[in-house]
Structure 1
Amino acid sequence: MNDLLDKLCQNRRLDRAEWRTLLEARHSLDRQDLFARGLEERRRWYGDQIYVRGLIECSNICKNNCLYCGIRRDNRSVTRYRLDRDTILACCGKGYGWGFRTFVLQGGEDPGLTPDWVAETVAAIKGRFPDCAVTLSLGEFDRDVYQLWFDAGADRYLLRHETADPVHYGRLHPPELTLAHRLDCLRNLKDIGYQVGAGFMVGSPGQSADTLAEDFCFLQDFQPHMVGLGPFIPQKDTPFAGEPAGTLEDTLILLSLVRLTLPKVLLPATTALGTIHPQGRELGIQAGANVVMPNLSPPAARDKYTLYDNKLCTGDEAAEHLAGLKQRLAAIGCTVAVHRGDFPNS
């Protein structure tokens, strides 16, 4: 396997057969060596600076019915909410005072978040905090909507592809959602000029070495600026409630492989990773991640954004405890960056 890792470290592509070979045998890799390689690549581009993003979960209303998601349309156990613009701006104001220079607006595909309303909200954030970046993660829309939001000042867009295998995609989503449309959205976003994030859940039902090989081939071809990668965690009110969660080991291995595949990528150590292990975030950073996203949402809303069970939203996951997060990062030799944390173009 070392020859394939060497090839990745030399910035050379693996073909689908090579990816399948590597991913089939990933649990036999020398993890200490793999994580050291991932850490070296992260340090080459970012040193020991970790970028922080202030996450604002602006709505848990969603028109879609994805089988894995706790805010899916048919989940009647969720107390639904939608933040108004003043509340979002107040969250940004608090975050700015604490040192955040990127705000992430994340939500379900909520018909109440109209294109014009989102554009006006983005423009308001950029007008009040012109030195900050705005990231959107609001789902699938037509190209003209994405253009509207970009013109309003949005800088980045997160849209996990979830899986690059169409059969696997169909197992995770209702029939009206297709992989082809998801990939069209990602291409449109990149063409417009966003810094674009793709990604997938580790250990999602039906995932295999074959589907993961498709994922890595897609990432090689698409070259996203960001990759969201965290373990699948079942949610009790979904059809996947009884499925096993993705593992810490697998998530860390795949984080390192993403870092080696896309050396400059913005790679979060996700809340889901921190949920399955108390040191999950730190271990992710030591495997090659360089972004963390503390929660800036109003405290009363945080436990309603139930994508999966037992989601962390307090302690050092909460933006107001940034000092605690800084201490935890310092313990592993890292510091919090005090700027927007854009993708390096050089």
Structure 2
Amino acid sequence: MDIEYLINKLSTTNSLCFDELLYLIKNIDKQGLELRQNLYKLASHTRDKYYGNKVFLRGLVEVSNYCKSDCYYCGIRCSNKNVDRYRLDKKDILDCCEIGYKIGYKTFVLQSGEDLYFDDDKMCDIISCIKNKYPDCAITLSLGEKSYDTYKKYFLSGADRYLLRHETSSESHYSKLHPSNLKLSNRKECLENLKEIGFQIGAGFMVDSPFQTDEDIVNDLLYLKELNPHMVGIGPFIPHHDTIFKDYKPGDLNKTLLILSITRLLLPASLLPATTALASIDPKGRNMGLLAGCNVIMPNLSPYELRNKYSLYDNKLSTGCEAYEYHKSLEDTINNLGLSIDYSRGDNINWRRVKCL
């Protein structure tokens, strides 16, 4: 197969079969670096076609690092006794949103471990308070696996989006990353439920996670193509020192950028973040992600003194241009890339909020 042909086919049809995707991933750099750069340019042009040269900002609030789950790769897993646990109260969360709103953010992302303290009543109260105070803003949740009824309550309270990475579409791979009580089938069912209720949904996975093969990555890409989420979160695996994967190598930057560009072309209307993990493995990682087709950044609005406690992986970037304090520097950096910050809600262009029955 010819790599240039595959790149052109992907950019024009937004589709490749399993064998074509696998060949592209394994061989793109064997015929010269200019092919990779061409892929990045096509991905960026595709983003611009659907969204212009805009980069959407989401204000991230890390609500709690308590978690009932024990995912093997995660630094805040419930069995890690070395974590200094915290949770924000309602006032703390609203204060974070107020700071973000004053800057101009029109989306707030509430992210948390699966903290049982936040039952439906507490979380729905928080969601409705944010929505009532900032009716022009979108609310994104990333709170893990919940029941259909809980998701529906979140939606009816005013939440607009839900991020839930599927992590891997392979049952065998999933079982190597998670304890036996967590099932891939339930994760996928959650994503289907969220979509049925009316959320903008986000799925995704880590690149170079332990035991991952290129075949796994291709299956992940094909699963995303079938699911057709509104958002896709893809970043490199980064080990945490208090997990069984502490000695594993972090994900490769160039491979992650490659997968991001392919994802942009497979799902041209997707909202694609340049993740914190990407910026954490390389100082220029986020900028490189934007030049490879990404169009979302999530600066951290969490209280400064707590950011290092929400430690999913080692060396997480929580200061500098990733943090809200440096939003002017972030704006200058993005402008220098030939892109522009968009302070609107930044909804997926194919989504309209409909009343949940």
Task: State which of 10, 18, 27 in structure 2 corresponds to 1:16.
Answer: 18
TM-superposed deviation, 1:113: 1.2
Is contact 1:59–1:81 with CA below 8 Å preserved after alignment?
A: yes
Task: State which of 148, 163, 167 in structure 2 corresponds to 1:143.
Answer: 148
Deviation per residue, 1:43-99 (Å, 9 max, x gap): 111221100000000000001110110000111111000100011001000100011
Q: Give the AA of the match of 1:206.
A: F
SS at match of 2:203: strand
Matched, 1:173 2:175: no
CA distance in structure 1 between the partners assigned to 2:29 and 2:141 by the alignment: 35
TM-superposed deviation, 1:12: 4.4
CA distance in structure 1 between the partners assigned to 2:30 and 2:123 by the alignment: 47
Task: State which of 89, 99, 103 in structure 1 corresponds to 2:104.
Answer: 99
Residue of structure 1 in register with 2:9 after alignment? 7
TM-superposed deviation, 1:114: 0.8
Q: 1:219 to 1:111 in 2, by over 3 A?
A: same
CA RMSD across the alignment? 1.1
CA distance in structure 2 between the partners assigned to 1:80 and 1:279 by the alignment: 31
Q: Give the AA of the match of 1:77.
A: N
Runs of at least 4 residues off by over 6 Å: none
Residue of structure 2 in register with 1:61 after alignment? 66
Q: Give the AA of the match of 1:28.
A: K
The share of aligned pairs that are identical, in percent, is: 49
Q: Gaps spanning 5+ residues in structure 1: where?
A: none
Q: Gaps spanning 5+ residues in structure 2: where?
A: 352-357
Deviation per residue, 1:104-147 (Å, 9 max, x gap): 00000011111121111000000000000000000001101000
Residue of structure 1 in register with 2:196 after alignment? 191
Residue of structure 1 in register with 2:289 after alignment? 284
CA distance in structure 2 between the partners assigned to 1:216 and 1:5 by the alignment: 15
Task: State which of 297, 321, 342 in structure 1 corresponds to 2:326.
Answer: 321
CA distance in structure 2 between the partners assigned to 1:12 and 1:47 by the alignment: 18
Residue pairs, 1:180-259, within 5 angstroms: 180-259=185-264
Is contact 1:98–1:320 with CA below 8 Å preserved after alignment?
A: no
Q: TM-score, normalised by structure 2?
A: 0.95
CA distance in structure 2 between the partners assigned to 1:21 and 1:183 by the alignment: 27
Q: Give the AA of the match of 2:83.
A: V
Q: Give the AA of the match of 1:148.
A: K
Deviation per residue, 1:291-316 (Å, 9 max, x gap): 00000001121010000001111111
Q: TM-score, normalised by structure 1?
A: 0.98
Aligned length: 346
SS at match of 1:61: coil
